[in-house]
Amino acid sequence: MERESSPPPEGPAHPSDAVSNVALNAPTRGNRKLERLLAAANTSDRLRAIWHMQHVVAGRMGMSDHSWVHVQIVLNIALRLSRLLSRRGVEPAMVGEHLMRHHDAEVVIAAACLFHDTGMSIHRTDHEAYSLFLAADLLPSLLEEIYDEPERAVVVAETLHAVIGHRRRGDPITVEAGIVRVADALDLAQGRSRVPFENRRPNIHSLSAAAIDAVEIKSGEERAVTIEIAMNNSAGIFQVDELLATKLRGSGLEEQIEVVARIDAEHEKRLVPVFRI
């Protein structure tokens, strides 16, 4: 039975209190391997503490949300993208190269989502590379009851590729890695700006995130996936063009995903009354 996860603490918190009610949820659709991975992650105090530290470091730097809330959003988006692409016959590496199943590709995608920002627990700079050694150390134990060798080593390697592939010039070369890269960029809506926008000096990242009202991911007509982004202010274009488009380019999924962003309101929302330097 799924349990509701607590939001990240807004102020100082003892580690045990900060992670006491952290649990990620995602639709597993009968994928027992994915269910077991999420169960292992949700009972790992070490991984949950790392997610907490991602939040702490991001807070120190005045950045948008990098807590387990972000991780869960990216996880759900990635699984949604994977299933829509699968319907159109887009074949992941786990199927086409390793002759395993789509369920195994979902495990790779989910594991990469769980670990993609763990390096933020150390530092923002080069955090994707730091995420690699944290994942390489911890992921095998999470997979211990799911895969035997050599399959486990393949799942870990493909996961690590997807983790490093989400950085700006990550050059992902698998469908799984491309999905994680795009999913990370699709956590664009207002929620990610809550800490810096409400409590700190606004910047283009927080303002542009506040300009995004909603993101809808659905089956496309000409392409496998259509992503519709509703904005209340033109500042949202920064999120779409500078962040999402940058991640989509080079993902290997450019021909499979269409992005449409629009402002439906007659008048744009005023995000800040005045900005002073």
pLDDT tens digits, 74-103: 999 999 999 999 999 999 999 999 999 999
pLDDT per residue as tens digits for the range 222-234: 999 999 998 888 8
Question: Is 17 among the domain residues?
Answer: no
**What integer is the mean pLDDT of 204-221?**
85
- Assessment of whether the complete model's pTM goes beyond 0.75: yes
**What integer is the mean pLDDT of 203-222?**
84
Per-residue pLDDT, 91: 97
Question: Is 11 among the domain residues?
Answer: no
Per-residue pLDDT, 275: 42
Q: How large is the angle between the packed helices 102-115 and 68-87, nearest 10 degrees? A: 160
- Residue 191 sits in a domain whose CATH number is 1.10.3210
Question: Is 272 among the domain residues?
Answer: no
What single letter denotes the amino acid at residue 29? R
Q: Is 31 helix (H, G, I), strand (E, B) or coil?
A: coil
* CA separation for the pair 51, 124 (Å, rounded): 14
Question: Is 5 among the domain residues?
Answer: no
* Torsion angles phi and psi, residue 212, rounded to 5: -95, 115
pLDDT per residue as tens digits for the range 256-270: 999 998 887 667 776
Percent of the chain with pLDDT over 70: 88
pLDDT per residue as tens digits for the range 126-183: 888 899 999 999 999 999 999 999 999 999 999 999 999 987 777 899 999 999 999 9
Question: Is 13 among the domain residues?
Answer: no
- Parent domain of 143: 24-263
Question: Is 3 among the domain residues?
Answer: no
* Torsion angles phi and psi, residue 227, rounded to 5: -115, 115
**What integer is the mean pLDDT of 30-44?**
97
Q: Is 214 helix (H, G, I), strand (E, B) or coil?
A: strand
Question: Is 54 among the domain residues?
Answer: yes
Percent of the chain with pLDDT over 90: 58
Question: Is 2 among the domain residues?
Answer: no
Task: Assign 198 a pLDDT band (cuts: 50, 70, 90).
Answer: low
DSSP string for 146-194:
T--TTHHHHHHHHHHHHHHTTSTT----SHHHHHHHHHHHT--SGGGGH
Q: How many domains does the chain have?
A: 1
What single letter denotes the amino acid at residue 261? A
Does position 5 have pLDDT exceeding 90, yes or no? no
* CA separation for the pair 88, 225 (Å, rounded): 9
Cis peptide before 150 (omega within 30 of 0): yes
